[in-house]
Amino acid sequence: MRKNIIVLILLLSLFAVIINKIAYSNPTIWACSNHTPAHVATNVQELQTLTQNYKCTGWYVVAP
């Protein structure tokens, strides 16, 4: 019984750490304005690749 409680506490702690990482690591998300549905990028390299491959323009921030 005590072992189960310890394992549960450890799992809950791990879950809390993961949720905290997700909640506070909000990447900036950009979307192009000349396509529907818009292409989205989460980093500069992805933004440049989409611009080159699909001629995306008018990038704007969707989520900070």
pLDDT at 60: 93
pLDDT at 11: 73
Residue that the structure tokens 């699909």 belong to: 54
Map out the domains of the chain as residue ranges.
2-63
E strand segments, 1-64: 29-31, 40-41, 60-63
pTM value surpassing 0.85: no
SS3 3: helix
Q: What is the share, in percent, of the chain residues with pLDDT greater than 90?
A: 44
At residue 18, φ and ψ (nearest 5 deg) are -65, -45
Angle at 50 between CA 46 and CA 56, to 5 degrees: 130
Within the chain, which residues score under 50 in pLDDT?
Answer: none
